[in-house]
Amino acid sequence: MNDKKKFKRNFCIIAHIDHGKSTLADRLIEKTQTVSSRDMEDQLLDSMDLERERGITIKLTPVRMFYTRDGVEYELNLIDTPGHVDFTYEVSRSLRACDGAVLVVDAAQGVEAQTLANVYLAIDNDLEILPVINKIDLPSARPEEVRKEIEDVIGIDASDAPLVSAKEGIGIEEVLNMIVDKISPPKGDEDAPLKCLIFDSYYDNYKGAVCLVRVIDGKVAAGTKIKMMASGRVYDCVEVGIFNPKPLPVNELIAGDVGYIAASIKAISETAPGDTITDADRPCAEPCPGYKEVQPVVYSGIFPVDGSRYNDLKDALERLKLSDAALHFEPEVSAALGFGFRCGFLGLLHMEIIQERLEREYNLDLITTSPGVTYKVHRTDGTVDTVTNPCNLPPTTEIAYMEEPMVNAEIYTPPAYIGSIMELCQDKRGVFEDMQYLDASRVRMKYRMPLSEIVYDFFDRLKSRSRGYASLDYELADYEKSDMVKLDILLNGEICDALSIIIHRDKAQSRGRALAEKLKEVIPRQLFEIPIQAAIGGKIIARETVKAMRKDVLAKCYGGDVTRKKKLLEKQKEGKKRMRQFGSVEIPSEAFMSILKLDND
Amino acid sequence: MNKLGIYIHIPFCNAKCSYCDFVSSVCGDDVKAAYFSRLRSDILEFASSGKAQDKTVDSIYFGGGTPTSVAEKYIAQIMDLLRSGFNVASDCETTIEANPESLTSIKAECYASSGINRISIGLQSATDSLLSEIGRIHTVYDFIKAADIAQSRFNNVSADLMLALPGQTVRDVEKAINLLAGRQFNHISAYSLKVEEGTPLFSTGYQPDEDYAADLYSLTRSMLEQYGYKGYEVSNFALPGYECRHNMRYWMRGEYLGFGVAAHSFYDNERYCMTSDLKAYLSGEGITEKTFIQPDGEEAAEETAMLALRTSYGLDLEKYRQTFGRDLLKDRGELIEELTESGYVEINNGKLTLTDKGLYVMNEIIVRLVL
């Protein structure tokens, strides 16, 4: 038995987006003939359409491969990791399931922000790091410079990093050899009490929530009574298996194995990544370290454009929640937008993905309110509230002060854009901390910045200011006292709740004006004049007016063609369905969407 | 005896105006001959069916296109046919639309002797450069000559104006109204330009400014009222006793028969129209759409309100309730109150009418009130 473990390697691949992680994974699978070439599709691991389209990995899928060398068969378990900062926690969980990491660096692009963030995570998790220089087939490839960059910037030995072109299939064998030679076989005692790390889970219509696990110690099989150590819930294990890459049931999983456990678990929320599974009858002493509950970072309201589709939206969110434990939502009622949900996301990408899946997979038209963050509101009576929805902010008189979440941001850019990016960061209330030339063509800038500024159009503006060259990485730091105010928009004298935002006092004035101006453009003229006002804490700071409509008439009758007139009026009536009634004001749903996309670069 | 109106469509012009969306084109004589032959046989067929035996025709309207652009004998032939096939009242209002460049004394003489007693001339604008810009092939002087011809032979002469043309000034509208009112035109129509898809004007991207169009409209209304004209419908103004009977028929849901390509009819509770494709019409195609409208049904109710509210007579609320079972005062009371307060509607003697301010935004009001 112990012999078998010696020939097992659990590893992952880490890389910056676009550096070729998925392609390399595909080549490894191909080379080890895990999937017949008939079934081979590009980027096999990215199972969702969205992932394939964007070339990013959201969901993790482990694959077991067999590689034979010198007559010995090795079992290689590839655990894929998501490549985006929103999913840092998920990355760290899947890293814990590995013993080594293949680090893919683009031979032309060199080391990038995301690469670094994930490498540090891997180092923190005591993983052996195996650098690989990919895309050497590119004309702009500069493998030797990149080799040096890896050593200088990351500080690991890259002298024998294989030169690879995953696209062309060059150097794949070397990568496999390196995995076998350099990554240590799993440790762990299969006779000890069961200890499994859940590093991900997914929802299966027949099996319920399925846990993806790395068995640290002990063994588990169908019939084992398992227990989630964080929640204390107990289940009967129904099936265990491995990924081939499709799920394949096996008799048991033992220490060192990577596979899945199905136990008729109803909801994905009961299978928290990072939690430890043990044997309920013979529990292990300590859970795996590092478990934490994932907290949303970005919030926004999601409403159906057609108010009558509230229940469809509710069903869709509930179904998404089954497979995405990080999605949080609760019902919200808005005077302007009607019934909808306040949703919490891991970050902006996560938010975008959820919105897109709702629209695409569930065919919903959505209005999404401005993304916001969680504020700590210290009341004058000494209590502290956490507020994610501007509407829940207590009156100014009851607020002693507020704190907002800060991030440590790292921006990587060619030196040409430093000035323009510094300007942007300053405008975004960033505090400069450090700048370092990584080489002649790359600079790393460090800023401490409010998260609320990052979630509001920072990324787009960074990209436009650097012609797409700059990249951003950030991690949540802490909370900081900040002079935040609530900016309200009043239509016809009434606060339109869906448009309220929490914003820094210095910016409230200009944003208020911009919002009022934009609203004037997008609200069509109606029978009555509509005053639009922006107010901070009840004080009006900007005013615009949508004048009363003056012409809405079919002047001529075309030789008694009454039908044509009727059709035009019917169409006009139909158009009202896409309007939101707010008091006596009708607001087209499109107006909300364009206002919420307001950018000021 | 029930009253009936007849509309004859003449789909020919000497030139096509840049804003025109009507079924009309510039054609040769052979096409015209073929068209009138089909038109005559349609009229004859209907007349000989006896369906209109018990109805009196008290309005006939030749519209287009440009009816004056075809040889006058065609018009006279149609008139003969109508008078022999239908019970045409002795005081039947019989109108022909005319363009200044093609109305001659000979034509006018012929129209008058065939029984036509009302003529409507298209002026559109009182500025030559603007006329040529929108594709009109006449000058203001041509119009004055045509007006002389018309007014010397007819006691009921109307003219058309357009509002919110590209580059049109307040001065142009004033000039046009002064010209028409000064010459005592009995009736004036002032249509606000609507840029229709597919017209040359549409492709220029021109869209009238809402406020400017509204300003010109209220200028027109107030000037004409000062001259003694009554705005009896949103776009139509008349000296006392000269309201267009045929026009009012449309708004009061009276019956009318349309003959010719793209002509619309409302007859026996059915609305239908002829094909709008001239070629298809000439090769024998006829009615394309036909809808039965239940006389006391929802559609009739909507039509009644939407048409009546265009006129200064308004909607008789009590009659409306009795006919359609809709009590607007009860069902839409709050809205009516709101609209009254802000000066969009009035109720006088149980009749709901749109005010001057309300007329020009009637779509929104109608949609809210009755649809």
Asked if A556's CB is within 8 angstroms of B210's CB, the reply is no
**How far is residue A121's CA from residue A125's CA, in Å, rounded to a whole number?**
6
pLDDT of residue A187: 87
pLDDT of residue A335: 83
Structure tokens at A162: 């294989």
Percentage of chain A exceeding pLDDT 90: 43
Average pLDDT taken over every residue of chain B? 95
pLDDT of residue A351: 86
pLDDT-derived band at A45 (thresholds 50, 70, 90) equals: very low
Return the residue of A nearest to B261 by Cα: A559
Angle between helices B298-308 and A562-575 (to 10 degrees): 100
A interface mutation test: which of B95, B232, B360, B369 has the most A CBs within 10 A? B360
Q: What average pLDDT does this structure show over B146-162?
A: 97
pLDDT of residue A46: 45
Q: What average pLDDT does this structure show over A402-422?
A: 92
Domain B298-370 has CATH 1.10.10.920: yes
**Sequential DSSP letters for B19-87:** T--SS-B---HHHHHHHHHHHHHHHHHHHHHTTTTTEEEEEEEEEES-GGGS-HHHHHHHHHHHHHHSE
Q: Say if residue B30's pLDDT is above 90.
A: yes
pLDDT-derived band at A35 (thresholds 50, 70, 90) equals: low
Q: Say if residue A94's pLDDT is above 60.
A: yes
A239: amino acid identity, one letter = E
pLDDT of residue A51: 47
Chain A contact present for B337, CB below 8 A: no
3-state secondary structure of B95: strand
Tokens 């700590």 sit on residue: A376
Residues contacting residue A400 through CB under 8 Å, at least 6 positions apart: A378, A379, A380
Q: How many CA atoms lie within 13 A of A387 on its CB side?
A: 27
Q: Say if residue B280's pLDDT is above 70.
A: yes
**How far is residue A57's CA from residue A76's CA, in Å, rounded to a whole number?**
20
pLDDT-derived band at A600 (thresholds 50, 70, 90) equals: very low
Q: Say if residue A91's pLDDT is above 80.
A: no
**How far is residue B116's CA from residue B74's CA, in Å, rounded to a whole number?**
13
Asked if A566's CB is within 8 angstroms of B302's CB, the reply is yes
Q: Say if residue B64's pLDDT is above 70.
A: yes
Residues of A in contact with B303 (CB under 8 A): 562, 566
Q: Say if residue A85's pLDDT is above 60.
A: no
Per-residue pLDDT reduced to its tens digit, A277-323: 999 999 998 888 876 667 788 899 999 988 889 999 999 998 888 76
ipTM score: 0.91
Spatial CA neighbour of A137 closest among A173, A172, A103, A167 = A167
- Indicate the residue of B194, B307, B338 with minimum beta-carbon distance to A555: B194
**How far is residue B295's CA from residue B300's CA, in Å, rounded to a whole number?**
6
**How many beta-carbon contacts under 8 Å exist across A and B?**
100
- Indicate the residue of B234, B289, B338 with minimum beta-carbon distance to A553: B234
Q: Say if residue A1's pLDDT is above 50.
A: no
Q: Say if residue B238's pLDDT is above 70.
A: yes
What is the DSSP secondary structure assignment for residue A416, as one 8-state letter? G
pLDDT of residue B226: 97
- Indicate the residue of A553, A556, A561 with minimum beta-carbon distance to B360: A553
Residues making up chain A, counted from first to last: 601
Q: How far is A273 from chain B (nearest CA, A)?
A: 55
pLDDT-derived band at B168 (thresholds 50, 70, 90) equals: very high
Structure tokens at B135: 């594709």
Per-residue pLDDT reduced to its tens digit, A106-126: 898 888 766 776 787 788 788
Q: Say if residue B268's pLDDT is above 50.
A: yes
For residues B227 and B216, the answer to whether their CB atoms sit within 8 Å is no
Query: Residue B80 — left, alpha, or beta (φ > 0 → left; ψ -120 to 50 → alpha)?
Result: alpha
| Planar angle of CA B184, B187, B193, nearest 5 degrees | 120
B interface mutation test: which of A525, A530, A553, A561 has the most B CBs within 10 A? A553
pLDDT of residue A57: 46
Pairing of β A501-504 and β A471-482: unpaired
pLDDT of residue A114: 62
Q: Say if residue A60's pLDDT is above 60.
A: no
Spatial CA neighbour of B146 closest among B263, B66, B202, B252 = B66
Domain boundaries, chain B: 2-251, 298-370
Percentage of chain A exceeding pLDDT 70: 91
Asked if B194's CB is within 8 angstroms of A573's CB, the reply is no
Residues of B in contact with A570 (CB under 8 A): 371
Superfamily (CATH) of domain B2-251: Aldolase class I (3.20.20.70)
For residues A153 and A11, the answer to whether their CB atoms sit within 8 Å is no
Spatial CA neighbour of A125 closest among A209, A199, A69 = A199
Q: Which of A345-359, A426-440, B109-123, B289-303 has the lowest mean pLDDT?
A: A345-359
Structure tokens at B4: 């009936």
pLDDT of residue A2: 53
**Sequential DSSP letters for B141-209:** HHHHHHHHHHHHH-S-EEEEEEES-TT--HHHHHHHHHHHHHTT-SEEEEEEP---TTSHHHHTT----
Q: Say if residue B244's pLDDT is above 80.
A: yes
Residue B200: alpha-carbon gap to chain centroid: 22
Average pLDDT taken over every residue of chain A? 85
Residues of A in contact with B306 (CB under 8 A): 565-566, 569
Spatial CA neighbour of A348 closest among A391, A296, A303, A304 = A296
